[in-house]
Amino acid sequence: MTPASVDPALRALAADLLFREADALDNQDWANWLAMYREDARYWVPAWIDEHRTTADPDTELSLIYHTTRRGLEERVGRIQSRKSITATPLPRTLHLIAGLTIAEADTEAMRVRSNAAVHVYDARTAAHHVAALRYEHSFRCAPGGGWLIAAKTIVLVNDRMPSVVDFYAL
C-alpha cells in the first residue's frame, strides 16, 4: 500500500496507537505503555553527527538511547518505580502532542508510521518548562492474538541540547 492510497480506517488505527502510547507516557501508566511493545522491540534515539545528519547505525555509532528489546525499557521503568533514579525523583510532568501522521508502508501484518511531536516537560522541583521537538518513526506489527504492537520506534530529538535529562518519558 502506498502512502497516497492509505485507507482512512488504517490511518485512524495508526493515530489511535500513537495517541494511546502518548497517553500512557503522560499518565505514567508504565504497565500499559510497556504492553504496547513486542518483546523484541527496538527503541532508538540516534545522536546528531552534525547539524543535518544523525547516526545511522546504533550498533557502531553513538546513540542517546538504544535498547534492542523491550527488556531494556522494562529495566528503565523499574528504576523509576523503585525511586532509585535520582534524576527522575520526582518525575517531571509531560504532555505529548502528535501531528503530521504519515503512513509510509502498510499491509495486513505491518505498518510503518512517521509523525512529529512536541513534548512539553514541566519539572515541579524547579518550575522549569521546556519543549522537546521530535520526529517519530514507529513500526507496528500485528500481534498473534490480534491487535497491533510496536516492533520498533526511532525518535529523532530535533532540539538535542535540552536543559534537562533526556529519558523515555519525555520523548
CATH assignment of the domain containing 22: 3.10.450.50
**Considering only CA atoms, which of 161, 170, 167 is closest in space to residue 51?**
161
149, containing H or E segment: strand 148-157
Per-residue cell: 78: 523499574
Ramachandran assignment for 170, one of left (phi > 0), alpha (psi -120 to 50 degrees), beta (any other)? alpha
Structural domains in the chain (count): 1
pLDDT tens, residue by residue, 10-53: 999 999 999 999 999 999 999 999 999 999 999 999 999 999 99
Concatenating the DSSP letter of every residue in 74-115 gives HHHHHHHHTT--GGGSSPPEEEEEEEEEEEEEE-SSEEEEEE
Per-residue cell: 150: 510496536
Percent of the chain with pLDDT over 90: 75
The pTM score is 0.91
- Residue 10's domain comprises 3-170
pLDDT tens, residue by residue, 47-84: 999 999 999 999 999 999 999 999 999 999 998 888 77
